[in-house]
A and B are shown apart, each in its own frame.
Chain A
Amino acid sequence: MNGGGVKHWTLHLALIAVLFSAQFWLSPYHATNLARIMILAVFAMGYNLAFGYTGLLSLGHALFLAAGMYAAGLPAQLWGWTAGPVFIAGIAGGGLIAAALGLLALRTAGVSFMIVTLMFAQAGFLTLLYFAPVTGGDDGFAVAASSRTLMGFDLSTDTPRFLAALVIFGTGLLLSLALVRSAFGRTMVAMRENEERSRMLGYNPFSVKLAALTISGLYAGAAGAAYAILFGYVGASFATIQYSILPMLYVLLGGAGTTLGPLLGAALMFVLIEAATGLTTAHQFIVGAALVTLVLFAPKGILGTVRERWVRWLP
Protein backbone atom coordinates (compact mmCIF):
# COMPACT_ATOMS: atom_id res chain seq x y z
CA MET A 1 0.00 0.00 0.00
CA ASN A 2 3.05 2.23 0.01
CA GLY A 3 3.94 3.99 -3.20
CA GLY A 4 1.61 4.73 -6.08
CA GLY A 5 0.68 8.02 -4.43
CA VAL A 6 0.54 10.21 -7.53
CA LYS A 7 -1.37 7.58 -9.48
CA HIS A 8 -3.86 7.13 -6.64
CA TRP A 9 -4.65 10.82 -6.23
CA THR A 10 -4.75 11.45 -9.98
CA LEU A 11 -7.21 8.62 -10.53
CA HIS A 12 -9.53 9.77 -7.75
CA LEU A 13 -9.43 13.44 -8.73
CA ALA A 14 -10.06 12.50 -12.37
CA LEU A 15 -13.11 10.52 -11.32
CA ILE A 16 -14.44 13.49 -9.37
CA ALA A 17 -13.85 15.71 -12.43
CA VAL A 18 -15.78 13.30 -14.65
CA LEU A 19 -18.64 13.23 -12.15
CA PHE A 20 -18.62 17.04 -12.09
CA SER A 21 -18.93 17.17 -15.86
CA ALA A 22 -21.85 14.73 -15.77
CA GLN A 23 -24.30 17.52 -14.93
CA PHE A 24 -23.62 19.01 -18.40
CA TRP A 25 -24.23 15.89 -20.43
CA LEU A 26 -26.84 14.05 -18.34
CA SER A 27 -30.54 14.89 -18.39
CA PRO A 28 -31.79 16.46 -15.12
CA TYR A 29 -33.57 13.19 -14.33
CA HIS A 30 -30.38 11.19 -14.67
CA ALA A 31 -28.31 13.83 -12.91
CA THR A 32 -30.65 13.57 -9.92
CA ASN A 33 -30.28 9.80 -10.00
CA LEU A 34 -26.51 10.24 -10.05
CA ALA A 35 -26.75 12.54 -7.02
CA ARG A 36 -28.73 9.81 -5.27
CA ILE A 37 -26.12 7.21 -6.27
CA MET A 38 -23.32 9.39 -4.92
CA ILE A 39 -25.07 9.70 -1.55
CA LEU A 40 -25.67 5.95 -1.43
CA ALA A 41 -21.99 5.51 -2.35
CA VAL A 42 -20.98 7.61 0.68
CA PHE A 43 -22.97 5.17 2.80
CA ALA A 44 -21.26 2.27 1.03
CA MET A 45 -17.79 3.82 1.43
CA GLY A 46 -18.37 3.90 5.16
CA TYR A 47 -19.52 0.29 5.07
CA ASN A 48 -16.43 -0.59 3.06
CA LEU A 49 -14.09 0.92 5.66
CA ALA A 50 -15.62 -1.34 8.31
CA PHE A 51 -16.21 -4.44 6.22
CA GLY A 52 -13.82 -4.26 3.26
CA TYR A 53 -10.80 -2.95 5.13
CA THR A 54 -11.28 -3.88 8.79
CA GLY A 55 -13.22 -7.10 8.26
CA LEU A 56 -16.22 -6.12 10.39
CA LEU A 57 -19.25 -7.76 8.80
CA SER A 58 -22.06 -5.62 10.21
CA LEU A 59 -25.75 -6.12 9.56
CA GLY A 60 -26.66 -2.98 11.43
CA HIS A 61 -25.57 -0.10 9.26
CA ALA A 62 -29.17 0.92 8.57
CA LEU A 63 -29.16 2.13 12.17
CA PHE A 64 -26.25 4.50 11.47
CA LEU A 65 -27.88 5.74 8.26
CA ALA A 66 -31.14 6.38 10.10
CA ALA A 67 -29.28 7.96 13.02
CA GLY A 68 -27.73 10.47 10.63
CA MET A 69 -31.03 11.03 8.90
CA TYR A 70 -32.97 11.69 12.10
CA ALA A 71 -30.17 13.60 13.81
CA ALA A 72 -30.44 15.91 10.79
CA GLY A 73 -34.18 15.77 10.21
CA LEU A 74 -35.44 16.22 13.76
CA PRO A 75 -33.60 19.51 14.52
CA ALA A 76 -34.79 20.73 11.13
CA GLN A 77 -38.35 19.70 11.91
CA LEU A 78 -38.51 20.73 15.56
CA TRP A 79 -36.27 23.79 15.74
CA GLY A 80 -35.93 24.90 12.12
CA TRP A 81 -32.14 24.48 11.92
CA THR A 82 -30.56 25.40 8.58
CA ALA A 83 -28.81 22.95 6.25
CA GLY A 84 -25.24 23.47 7.57
CA PRO A 85 -25.85 22.67 11.25
CA VAL A 86 -28.36 19.98 10.23
CA PHE A 87 -25.70 18.21 8.16
CA ILE A 88 -23.12 18.37 10.94
CA ALA A 89 -25.66 17.06 13.44
CA GLY A 90 -26.36 14.16 11.09
CA ILE A 91 -22.68 13.20 10.79
CA ALA A 92 -22.28 13.38 14.56
CA GLY A 93 -25.44 11.31 15.06
CA GLY A 94 -24.17 8.50 12.84
CA GLY A 95 -20.75 8.50 14.52
CA LEU A 96 -22.15 8.57 18.05
CA ILE A 97 -24.57 5.71 17.51
CA ALA A 98 -21.85 3.66 15.79
CA ALA A 99 -19.45 4.25 18.68
CA ALA A 100 -22.10 3.33 21.23
CA LEU A 101 -23.07 0.19 19.34
CA GLY A 102 -19.39 -0.68 18.86
CA LEU A 103 -18.68 -0.48 22.58
CA LEU A 104 -21.24 -3.24 23.10
CA ALA A 105 -21.15 -5.26 19.87
CA LEU A 106 -17.35 -5.41 19.44
CA ARG A 107 -17.18 -7.72 22.42
CA THR A 108 -18.32 -10.26 19.86
CA ALA A 109 -16.85 -11.22 16.50
CA GLY A 110 -17.83 -13.02 13.31
CA VAL A 111 -21.35 -14.40 13.17
CA SER A 112 -22.17 -13.16 16.67
CA PHE A 113 -21.18 -9.65 15.61
CA MET A 114 -23.53 -9.91 12.64
CA ILE A 115 -26.40 -11.01 14.85
CA VAL A 116 -25.78 -8.42 17.56
CA THR A 117 -25.55 -5.55 15.06
CA LEU A 118 -28.68 -6.79 13.31
CA MET A 119 -30.49 -6.95 16.63
CA PHE A 120 -29.51 -3.42 17.62
CA ALA A 121 -30.55 -2.09 14.21
CA GLN A 122 -33.95 -3.77 14.54
CA ALA A 123 -34.32 -2.32 18.02
CA GLY A 124 -33.53 1.08 16.54
CA PHE A 125 -36.12 0.61 13.81
CA LEU A 126 -38.77 -0.39 16.35
CA THR A 127 -37.85 2.60 18.49
CA LEU A 128 -38.49 4.89 15.51
CA LEU A 129 -41.89 3.27 15.04
CA TYR A 130 -42.70 3.48 18.74
CA PHE A 131 -42.07 7.21 18.80
CA ALA A 132 -44.05 7.74 15.61
CA PRO A 133 -45.63 11.01 16.85
CA VAL A 134 -42.14 12.55 16.73
CA THR A 135 -40.40 10.45 14.06
CA GLY A 136 -43.30 10.05 11.69
CA GLY A 137 -42.82 6.29 11.86
CA ASP A 138 -43.14 4.47 8.56
CA ASP A 139 -44.65 7.51 6.86
CA GLY A 140 -41.81 9.74 7.90
CA PHE A 141 -41.94 13.44 7.27
CA ALA A 142 -40.84 15.97 4.68
CA VAL A 143 -37.98 18.29 5.54
CA ALA A 144 -39.04 21.94 5.40
CA ALA A 145 -37.63 24.04 2.55
CA SER A 146 -36.01 26.44 5.03
CA SER A 147 -33.73 23.62 6.24
CA ARG A 148 -32.73 22.76 2.69
CA THR A 149 -30.92 25.96 1.85
CA LEU A 150 -27.22 26.51 2.24
CA MET A 151 -25.66 29.97 1.79
CA GLY A 152 -28.61 31.07 -0.32
CA PHE A 153 -28.65 27.99 -2.55
CA ASP A 154 -31.84 25.96 -2.64
CA LEU A 155 -30.60 22.38 -2.33
CA SER A 156 -33.92 21.02 -3.52
CA THR A 157 -33.22 22.31 -7.04
CA ASP A 158 -31.24 20.31 -9.57
CA THR A 159 -27.87 22.00 -9.90
CA PRO A 160 -27.23 22.90 -6.23
CA ARG A 161 -28.39 19.43 -5.21
CA PHE A 162 -26.07 17.75 -7.68
CA LEU A 163 -23.13 19.89 -6.64
CA ALA A 164 -23.79 19.36 -2.94
CA ALA A 165 -23.94 15.60 -3.49
CA LEU A 166 -20.69 15.77 -5.46
CA VAL A 167 -18.90 17.77 -2.77
CA ILE A 168 -20.01 15.33 -0.07
CA PHE A 169 -19.08 12.32 -2.18
CA GLY A 170 -15.76 13.81 -3.32
CA THR A 171 -14.77 14.72 0.23
CA GLY A 172 -15.73 11.27 1.47
CA LEU A 173 -13.81 9.59 -1.33
CA LEU A 174 -10.61 11.57 -0.85
CA LEU A 175 -10.77 11.10 2.92
CA SER A 176 -11.22 7.37 2.51
CA LEU A 177 -8.24 7.24 0.13
CA ALA A 178 -6.12 9.19 2.60
CA LEU A 179 -7.27 6.88 5.40
CA VAL A 180 -6.50 3.60 3.65
CA ARG A 181 -3.10 4.93 2.56
CA SER A 182 -2.27 5.98 6.12
CA ALA A 183 -0.63 3.99 8.88
CA PHE A 184 -4.03 3.55 10.50
CA GLY A 185 -5.39 2.14 7.24
CA ARG A 186 -2.66 -0.49 7.34
CA THR A 187 -3.66 -1.32 10.93
CA MET A 188 -7.28 -1.72 9.87
CA VAL A 189 -6.26 -4.22 7.20
CA ALA A 190 -4.11 -6.04 9.76
CA MET A 191 -7.23 -6.56 11.89
CA ARG A 192 -9.03 -8.03 8.90
CA GLU A 193 -6.14 -10.31 8.00
CA ASN A 194 -5.04 -11.61 11.40
CA GLU A 195 -6.29 -10.10 14.61
CA GLU A 196 -4.18 -12.25 16.94
CA ARG A 197 -0.96 -11.38 15.11
CA SER A 198 -1.90 -7.70 15.25
CA ARG A 199 -2.34 -7.95 18.98
CA MET A 200 1.17 -9.37 19.27
CA LEU A 201 2.45 -6.35 17.36
CA GLY A 202 1.08 -4.12 20.11
CA TYR A 203 -2.34 -3.17 18.75
CA ASN A 204 -5.45 -3.31 20.86
CA PRO A 205 -7.94 -4.92 18.46
CA PHE A 206 -10.92 -3.52 20.34
CA SER A 207 -9.88 0.12 20.05
CA VAL A 208 -8.79 -0.21 16.40
CA LYS A 209 -12.10 -1.80 15.45
CA LEU A 210 -14.06 0.71 17.50
CA ALA A 211 -12.34 3.57 15.70
CA ALA A 212 -12.99 1.98 12.30
CA LEU A 213 -16.65 1.37 13.11
CA THR A 214 -17.06 4.93 14.35
CA ILE A 215 -15.53 6.33 11.14
CA SER A 216 -17.88 4.05 9.23
CA GLY A 217 -20.77 5.49 11.25
CA LEU A 218 -19.68 9.05 10.43
CA TYR A 219 -19.93 8.20 6.74
CA ALA A 220 -23.34 6.58 7.20
CA GLY A 221 -24.47 9.59 9.21
CA ALA A 222 -23.28 11.95 6.48
CA ALA A 223 -25.18 9.91 3.89
CA GLY A 224 -28.36 9.89 5.97
CA ALA A 225 -28.18 13.62 6.64
CA ALA A 226 -27.41 14.36 2.99
CA TYR A 227 -30.38 12.29 1.92
CA ALA A 228 -32.66 14.22 4.27
CA ILE A 229 -31.40 17.60 3.07
CA LEU A 230 -31.07 16.89 -0.65
CA PHE A 231 -34.14 14.74 -1.16
CA GLY A 232 -36.25 16.23 1.60
CA TYR A 233 -37.54 13.07 3.22
CA VAL A 234 -36.91 11.36 6.55
CA GLY A 235 -38.56 8.06 7.43
CA ALA A 236 -38.19 4.89 9.48
CA SER A 237 -38.06 2.77 6.31
CA PHE A 238 -34.37 3.73 6.06
CA ALA A 239 -33.77 1.89 9.33
CA THR A 240 -35.02 -1.44 7.96
CA ILE A 241 -32.80 -4.45 7.35
CA GLN A 242 -32.88 -3.67 3.63
CA TYR A 243 -30.64 -0.66 4.21
CA SER A 244 -28.16 -2.80 6.11
CA ILE A 245 -27.98 -5.30 3.28
CA LEU A 246 -27.74 -2.76 0.44
CA PRO A 247 -24.35 -1.24 1.32
CA MET A 248 -22.96 -4.76 1.71
CA LEU A 249 -24.20 -5.64 -1.76
CA TYR A 250 -22.79 -2.42 -3.24
CA VAL A 251 -19.42 -3.15 -1.68
CA LEU A 252 -19.39 -6.82 -2.68
CA LEU A 253 -20.35 -5.95 -6.23
CA GLY A 254 -17.90 -3.10 -6.67
CA GLY A 255 -15.09 -4.80 -4.76
CA ALA A 256 -14.62 -4.95 -0.99
CA GLY A 257 -11.44 -3.27 0.14
CA THR A 258 -11.15 -1.03 -2.93
CA THR A 259 -11.70 2.73 -2.61
CA LEU A 260 -13.75 3.02 -5.80
CA GLY A 261 -15.74 -0.19 -5.40
CA PRO A 262 -18.57 1.38 -3.35
CA LEU A 263 -19.42 3.94 -6.05
CA LEU A 264 -19.23 1.38 -8.83
CA GLY A 265 -21.34 -1.09 -6.86
CA ALA A 266 -23.94 1.50 -5.89
CA ALA A 267 -24.20 2.75 -9.48
CA LEU A 268 -24.49 -0.70 -11.03
CA MET A 269 -26.99 -1.91 -8.47
CA PHE A 270 -29.06 1.25 -8.96
CA VAL A 271 -29.08 0.79 -12.73
CA LEU A 272 -29.79 -2.92 -12.40
CA ILE A 273 -32.75 -2.35 -10.12
CA GLU A 274 -34.09 0.39 -12.44
CA ALA A 275 -33.79 -1.88 -15.46
CA ALA A 276 -35.24 -4.90 -13.68
CA THR A 277 -38.19 -2.87 -12.38
CA GLY A 278 -39.02 -1.93 -15.97
CA LEU A 279 -38.96 -5.54 -17.09
CA THR A 280 -40.78 -7.44 -14.39
CA THR A 281 -42.41 -7.10 -11.01
CA ALA A 282 -39.99 -9.81 -9.83
CA HIS A 283 -37.05 -7.40 -10.01
CA GLN A 284 -35.62 -8.74 -6.76
CA PHE A 285 -35.15 -12.04 -8.58
CA ILE A 286 -32.94 -10.43 -11.20
CA VAL A 287 -30.90 -8.67 -8.55
CA GLY A 288 -30.50 -11.97 -6.71
CA ALA A 289 -29.41 -13.77 -9.85
CA ALA A 290 -26.84 -11.07 -10.55
CA LEU A 291 -25.42 -11.47 -7.07
CA VAL A 292 -25.22 -15.25 -7.28
CA THR A 293 -23.35 -14.86 -10.57
CA LEU A 294 -21.01 -12.40 -8.92
CA VAL A 295 -20.25 -14.64 -5.97
CA LEU A 296 -19.63 -17.60 -8.28
CA PHE A 297 -17.43 -15.89 -10.85
CA ALA A 298 -15.95 -12.81 -9.22
CA PRO A 299 -16.07 -13.22 -5.43
CA LYS A 300 -13.73 -10.26 -5.01
CA GLY A 301 -16.15 -7.96 -6.82
CA ILE A 302 -15.44 -6.07 -10.00
CA LEU A 303 -12.58 -3.85 -8.88
CA GLY A 304 -11.19 -6.57 -6.62
CA THR A 305 -10.88 -8.78 -9.69
CA VAL A 306 -9.49 -5.94 -11.80
CA ARG A 307 -6.84 -5.32 -9.15
CA GLU A 308 -5.94 -8.98 -8.85
CA ARG A 309 -5.60 -9.56 -12.58
CA TRP A 310 -4.56 -6.31 -14.20
CA VAL A 311 -4.11 -3.17 -12.13
CA ARG A 312 -2.06 -4.16 -9.10
CA TRP A 313 -1.64 -0.61 -7.82
CA LEU A 314 -5.39 0.04 -7.46
CA PRO A 315 -5.97 1.26 -3.90
Chain B
Amino acid sequence: MAALNPTPPLRTPLIQTSGLTLHFGGLKAVDGVDFTLHAGEIHALIGPNGAGKTTFVSLLSGRRLPQSGTIRLAGEDITRLPAHARVRKGIAYTFQITSVFPRLTVFDNVALAVQSQGTADLTAKTHAALARVGLDGLEEQEAQTLSYGHQRLLELAMGLALNPRLLILDEPTQGLAASEIEGFKTLIRSLVPQTTVLLIEHNMEVVMDLATRITVLTFGRVLATGTAAEIRANPAVQEAYLGA
Protein backbone atom coordinates (compact mmCIF):
# COMPACT_ATOMS: atom_id res chain seq x y z
CA MET B 1 0.00 0.00 0.00
CA ALA B 2 2.21 2.83 -1.22
CA ALA B 3 0.37 5.96 -0.29
CA LEU B 4 2.68 8.92 -0.28
CA ASN B 5 0.51 11.97 -0.12
CA PRO B 6 2.02 14.95 -2.00
CA THR B 7 -0.28 17.53 -0.44
CA PRO B 8 -1.00 16.68 3.17
CA PRO B 9 -4.52 17.85 3.97
CA LEU B 10 -4.75 20.88 6.16
CA ARG B 11 -8.53 21.04 5.88
CA THR B 12 -11.30 18.47 6.09
CA PRO B 13 -11.19 16.37 2.93
CA LEU B 14 -14.05 16.93 0.48
CA ILE B 15 -14.78 13.21 0.40
CA GLN B 16 -13.62 10.62 2.86
CA THR B 17 -14.73 7.02 2.82
CA SER B 18 -13.79 4.41 5.35
CA GLY B 19 -14.30 0.70 5.06
CA LEU B 20 -16.74 1.20 2.20
CA THR B 21 -18.07 -2.19 1.14
CA LEU B 22 -20.57 -3.54 -1.37
CA HIS B 23 -20.58 -7.22 -2.29
CA PHE B 24 -22.83 -8.78 -4.92
CA GLY B 25 -23.15 -12.33 -3.65
CA GLY B 26 -19.61 -13.70 -3.80
CA LEU B 27 -18.34 -10.79 -5.91
CA LYS B 28 -16.53 -8.21 -3.79
CA ALA B 29 -17.21 -5.21 -6.03
CA VAL B 30 -16.09 -2.70 -3.40
CA ASP B 31 -14.28 -4.23 -0.47
CA GLY B 32 -13.36 -2.02 2.47
CA VAL B 33 -12.23 1.04 0.55
CA ASP B 34 -10.62 3.91 2.48
CA PHE B 35 -10.41 6.85 0.13
CA THR B 36 -9.70 10.54 0.52
CA LEU B 37 -10.44 13.27 -1.99
CA HIS B 38 -9.08 16.75 -1.36
CA ALA B 39 -10.89 19.86 -2.47
CA GLY B 40 -9.59 21.28 -5.73
CA GLU B 41 -7.78 18.23 -7.06
CA ILE B 42 -8.29 16.24 -10.22
CA HIS B 43 -8.26 12.69 -8.98
CA ALA B 44 -8.24 9.78 -11.38
CA LEU B 45 -9.61 6.37 -10.50
CA ILE B 46 -7.99 3.65 -12.57
CA GLY B 47 -7.91 -0.11 -12.54
CA PRO B 48 -8.62 -3.10 -14.74
CA ASN B 49 -12.16 -3.83 -15.96
CA GLY B 50 -14.26 -5.15 -13.11
CA ALA B 51 -12.05 -3.53 -10.46
CA GLY B 52 -15.10 -1.84 -8.94
CA LYS B 53 -14.53 1.72 -10.16
CA THR B 54 -18.06 2.39 -11.38
CA THR B 55 -19.56 0.66 -8.35
CA PHE B 56 -17.39 2.78 -6.08
CA VAL B 57 -18.51 6.07 -7.64
CA SER B 58 -22.11 4.79 -7.58
CA LEU B 59 -21.71 4.57 -3.82
CA LEU B 60 -20.34 8.12 -3.70
CA SER B 61 -23.19 9.48 -5.81
CA GLY B 62 -25.84 7.49 -3.96
CA ARG B 63 -27.02 5.42 -6.89
CA ARG B 64 -26.23 2.44 -4.70
CA LEU B 65 -26.05 2.13 -0.93
CA PRO B 66 -23.12 0.36 0.76
CA GLN B 67 -23.45 -2.69 2.99
CA SER B 68 -20.98 -1.20 5.43
CA GLY B 69 -18.59 1.69 5.82
CA THR B 70 -19.16 5.43 5.76
CA ILE B 71 -18.95 8.30 3.30
CA ARG B 72 -18.33 11.84 4.48
CA LEU B 73 -18.77 14.94 2.38
CA ALA B 74 -16.76 17.80 3.92
CA GLY B 75 -17.08 16.06 7.26
CA GLU B 76 -20.81 15.39 7.02
CA ASP B 77 -21.96 11.76 7.00
CA ILE B 78 -23.88 11.20 3.77
CA THR B 79 -23.73 7.40 3.73
CA ARG B 80 -27.50 6.92 3.75
CA LEU B 81 -28.51 10.06 1.87
CA PRO B 82 -30.54 9.40 -1.32
CA ALA B 83 -28.92 10.27 -4.64
CA HIS B 84 -31.02 13.36 -5.42
CA ALA B 85 -30.20 14.87 -2.03
CA ARG B 86 -26.47 14.34 -2.67
CA VAL B 87 -26.78 16.13 -5.99
CA ARG B 88 -28.22 19.08 -4.11
CA LYS B 89 -25.28 18.95 -1.73
CA GLY B 90 -22.96 19.32 -4.71
CA ILE B 91 -22.09 15.83 -5.95
CA ALA B 92 -22.71 15.62 -9.69
CA TYR B 93 -22.39 12.40 -11.63
CA THR B 94 -22.10 12.05 -15.38
CA PHE B 95 -22.97 8.71 -16.81
CA GLN B 96 -20.58 6.26 -18.43
CA ILE B 97 -23.17 5.43 -21.05
CA THR B 98 -24.41 8.79 -22.24
CA SER B 99 -27.73 9.41 -20.57
CA VAL B 100 -29.22 12.61 -21.90
CA PHE B 101 -32.96 13.09 -22.47
CA PRO B 102 -33.02 12.09 -26.15
CA ARG B 103 -36.41 13.56 -27.06
CA LEU B 104 -35.88 16.90 -25.34
CA THR B 105 -34.01 19.79 -26.85
CA VAL B 106 -30.41 20.54 -25.95
CA PHE B 107 -31.67 23.63 -24.12
CA ASP B 108 -34.18 21.65 -22.05
CA ASN B 109 -31.58 19.05 -21.13
CA VAL B 110 -29.29 21.63 -19.61
CA ALA B 111 -32.13 23.79 -18.26
CA LEU B 112 -33.24 20.78 -16.21
CA ALA B 113 -29.86 20.73 -14.52
CA VAL B 114 -29.79 24.52 -14.02
CA GLN B 115 -33.30 24.78 -12.59
CA SER B 116 -32.68 22.11 -9.99
CA GLN B 117 -30.42 24.77 -8.41
CA GLY B 118 -33.13 27.46 -8.67
CA THR B 119 -34.93 29.13 -11.55
CA ALA B 120 -33.32 32.59 -11.41
CA ASP B 121 -31.57 33.52 -14.69
CA LEU B 122 -32.49 30.12 -16.09
CA THR B 123 -31.98 31.02 -19.74
CA ALA B 124 -28.70 32.86 -19.24
CA LYS B 125 -27.21 30.13 -17.06
CA THR B 126 -28.28 27.45 -19.52
CA HIS B 127 -26.66 29.28 -22.41
CA ALA B 128 -23.52 29.78 -20.33
CA ALA B 129 -23.22 26.06 -19.54
CA LEU B 130 -23.69 25.20 -23.22
CA ALA B 131 -21.14 27.78 -24.30
CA ARG B 132 -18.64 26.34 -21.86
CA VAL B 133 -18.62 22.99 -23.68
CA GLY B 134 -18.98 24.59 -27.11
CA LEU B 135 -22.56 23.50 -27.82
CA ASP B 136 -23.95 27.01 -28.12
CA GLY B 137 -26.06 27.44 -31.22
CA LEU B 138 -27.51 23.92 -30.93
CA GLU B 139 -30.08 24.83 -28.24
CA GLU B 140 -33.19 23.97 -30.21
CA GLN B 141 -31.91 20.69 -31.60
CA GLU B 142 -33.31 17.46 -30.17
CA ALA B 143 -30.61 15.76 -28.12
CA GLN B 144 -30.98 12.47 -29.99
CA THR B 145 -29.98 14.16 -33.25
CA LEU B 146 -26.56 15.15 -31.86
CA SER B 147 -23.43 13.19 -32.75
CA TYR B 148 -22.08 10.90 -30.06
CA GLY B 149 -19.27 13.29 -29.19
CA HIS B 150 -21.72 16.14 -28.85
CA GLN B 151 -23.98 14.04 -26.63
CA ARG B 152 -20.99 13.44 -24.34
CA LEU B 153 -20.38 17.16 -24.22
CA LEU B 154 -24.07 17.72 -23.47
CA GLU B 155 -23.80 15.24 -20.63
CA LEU B 156 -20.81 17.22 -19.36
CA ALA B 157 -22.71 20.51 -19.69
CA MET B 158 -25.50 19.02 -17.58
CA GLY B 159 -22.96 18.09 -14.92
CA LEU B 160 -21.40 21.56 -14.98
CA ALA B 161 -24.79 23.26 -14.88
CA LEU B 162 -25.38 21.63 -11.50
CA ASN B 163 -22.59 23.87 -10.27
CA PRO B 164 -21.10 20.99 -8.29
CA ARG B 165 -18.43 20.90 -5.60
CA LEU B 166 -17.52 17.45 -6.84
CA LEU B 167 -17.90 16.39 -10.45
CA ILE B 168 -17.68 12.64 -11.00
CA LEU B 169 -16.91 11.73 -14.60
CA ASP B 170 -17.29 8.10 -15.62
CA GLU B 171 -15.15 7.46 -18.71
CA PRO B 172 -15.77 10.89 -20.19
CA THR B 173 -13.42 10.55 -23.19
CA GLN B 174 -14.77 7.23 -24.36
CA GLY B 175 -15.83 7.62 -27.98
CA LEU B 176 -14.38 11.11 -28.34
CA ALA B 177 -12.13 12.00 -31.27
CA ALA B 178 -8.53 13.02 -30.54
CA SER B 179 -9.30 16.68 -31.21
CA GLU B 180 -12.28 16.55 -28.87
CA ILE B 181 -10.11 15.02 -26.14
CA GLU B 182 -7.77 18.03 -26.24
CA GLY B 183 -10.74 20.36 -25.75
CA PHE B 184 -12.01 18.15 -22.95
CA LYS B 185 -8.70 18.32 -21.08
CA THR B 186 -8.61 22.10 -21.33
CA LEU B 187 -12.17 22.26 -20.03
CA ILE B 188 -11.46 20.02 -17.04
CA ARG B 189 -8.37 22.03 -16.10
CA SER B 190 -10.46 25.18 -16.16
CA LEU B 191 -12.83 23.71 -13.56
CA VAL B 192 -10.33 23.33 -10.72
CA PRO B 193 -9.89 24.41 -8.03
CA GLN B 194 -13.51 25.67 -7.67
CA THR B 195 -14.75 22.21 -8.58
CA THR B 196 -13.09 18.98 -7.53
CA VAL B 197 -12.98 16.33 -10.23
CA LEU B 198 -13.06 12.58 -9.76
CA LEU B 199 -12.41 10.86 -13.03
CA ILE B 200 -12.72 7.22 -14.08
CA GLU B 201 -10.65 6.91 -17.18
CA HIS B 202 -9.07 4.21 -19.30
CA ASN B 203 -7.09 6.55 -21.54
CA MET B 204 -3.76 6.63 -19.66
CA GLU B 205 -2.58 9.64 -21.60
CA VAL B 206 -5.52 11.65 -20.31
CA VAL B 207 -5.00 10.33 -16.77
CA MET B 208 -1.27 11.08 -16.64
CA ASP B 209 -1.87 14.49 -18.19
CA LEU B 210 -4.73 15.66 -16.00
CA ALA B 211 -4.64 13.95 -12.64
CA THR B 212 -3.08 15.56 -9.58
CA ARG B 213 -3.44 12.24 -7.84
CA ILE B 214 -4.38 8.74 -8.93
CA THR B 215 -5.98 5.89 -7.05
CA VAL B 216 -5.64 2.36 -8.41
CA LEU B 217 -8.39 -0.14 -7.64
CA THR B 218 -8.17 -3.91 -8.13
CA PHE B 219 -10.69 -6.49 -6.97
CA GLY B 220 -12.61 -3.81 -5.11
CA ARG B 221 -9.62 -2.73 -3.04
CA VAL B 222 -7.26 0.23 -3.15
CA LEU B 223 -3.93 -0.95 -4.53
CA ALA B 224 -2.15 2.40 -4.45
CA THR B 225 -2.69 6.13 -4.28
CA GLY B 226 -0.26 8.82 -5.35
CA THR B 227 0.92 11.19 -8.05
CA ALA B 228 1.30 10.07 -11.64
CA ALA B 229 5.03 9.54 -11.15
CA GLU B 230 4.53 7.52 -7.98
CA ILE B 231 1.91 5.34 -9.60
CA ARG B 232 4.09 4.72 -12.64
CA ALA B 233 6.98 3.71 -10.37
CA ASN B 234 4.92 1.42 -8.18
CA PRO B 235 5.82 -2.25 -8.87
CA ALA B 236 2.49 -3.58 -7.59
CA VAL B 237 0.62 -1.31 -9.97
CA GLN B 238 2.84 -2.28 -12.87
CA GLU B 239 2.17 -5.92 -12.19
CA ALA B 240 -1.53 -5.58 -11.71
CA TYR B 241 -2.47 -3.03 -14.24
CA LEU B 242 0.04 -1.24 -16.38
CA GLY B 243 1.00 -4.57 -17.88
CA ALA B 244 4.72 -4.58 -17.10
Stretch of B98-106, B130-138, B209-217, B228-236 at the chain-chain interface: B98-106
Mask, A194-214, CB within 8 Å of B = 1, is 101111111111000000000
The majority secondary structure among interface residues of chain A is helix
20 contacts between A and B (CB under 8 A): A1-B105, A2-B107, A2-B108, A183-B111, A183-B122, A186-B111, A187-B115, A190-B101, A193-B102, A193-B104, A194-B99, A197-B95, A197-B100, A200-B83, A200-B99, A201-B158, A202-B113, A202-B116, A202-B117, A205-B84
User: Does the CB pair A201–B107 fall under 8 Å?
Assistant: no
In the complex, chain A residues whose CB is within 8 Å of the CB of B68: none
B56 is an interface residue with CB less than 8 A from chain A? no
State whether the Cβ of A189 lies closer than 8 Å to any Cβ in chain B.
yes
B61, B101, B104, B107: which has the most chain A beta carbons within 10 Å? B101
Q: Whole-angstrom distance from the CB of B97 to the nearest CB of chain A?
A: 11
Residues of A contacting B63 in the complex (Cβ-Cβ under 8 angstroms): 200
Query: B-contacting residues of A (Cβ < 8 Å)?
Result: 1-3, 183, 186-187, 189-190, 193-194, 196-205
Output the least CB separation between B31 and chain A (Å): 25
Residues in chain A near residue B162, CB distance under 8 A:
201-202
Q: Which residues of A contact B61 (CB under 8 A)?
A: 200
Q: How far is the CA of A3 from the CA of B63 in the complex (A)?
A: 34
Chain B proximity of A204: nearest CB distance (Å): 5
Give every chain B residue within 8 A of A200 (Cβ-Cβ).
Answer: 61, 63, 83-84, 87, 92-93, 95, 99
Asked whether B99 lies within 8 Å of A202 as measured between CB atoms, the reply is: no
The residues of A that contact B208 with a CB separation of less than 8 Å are: none
> Is B112 a contact partner of A198 (Cβ separation < 8 A)?
yes
In the complex, chain A residues whose CB is within 8 Å of the CB of B183 = none
B193 beta carbon closer than 8 Å to chain A:
no
Quick check: is B82 within 8 A (CB to CB) of the other chain?
A: yes
B123 part of interface (Cβ distance < 8 Å):
yes
Minimum CB–CB distance from A294 to chain B (whole Å) comes to: 21
* 9 A-B pairs with the lowest CB-CB distances in the bound complex, closest first: A202-B87, A202-B116, A183-B115, A193-B101, A183-B119, A204-B84, A202-B88, A197-B99, A199-B84
Q: Which residues on B sit within 8 Å (CB–CB) of A194? A: 99, 101
Residue in A196, A197, A198 with the greatest tally of chain B CB atoms within 10 Å: A197
Q: Known contacts A2-B123, A183-B122; is A203 also within 8 Å of B101 by CB? A: no
Contact residues in A for B100 (Cβ distance below 8 Å): 197
When C-beta atoms are compared, the residue in chain A nearest to B116 turns out to be: A202
A189 to B122, CA, bound (A): 17
CA distance A202 to B100 in the complex (A): 15
Q: Mark B138-166, 1 if CB is under 8 A from A, else 0.
A: 00100000000000000000100010000
Interface hits, B66-96 → A, CB 8 Å: 82-85, 87-88, 92-93, 95
Check if A199 sits within 8 Å of B99, measured CB to CB.
no
Q: List chain B residues, Cβ under 8 A from A189.
A: 104, 108
C-alpha gap A2/B64 in the complex (Å): 34
- Chain A residues with CB below 8 A from B111, complex form: 2, 183, 186
Chain A proximity of B137: nearest CB distance (Å): 15
* Chain B residues positioned under 8 Å from A198 (CB to CB): 112
Q: How far is the CB of A95 from chain B (nearest CB, A)?
A: 24
Given contacts A194-B99, A202-B162, 14 further A-B contacts (CB under 8 A): A1-B108, A189-B104, A189-B108, A190-B101, A194-B101, A197-B100, A199-B84, A200-B61, A200-B83, A200-B87, A201-B113, A202-B84, A202-B88, A204-B84
Q: Residues of B contacting A196 with CB < 8 Å?
A: 99
- Report the minimum CB–CB distance from A141 to chain B (whole Å): 46
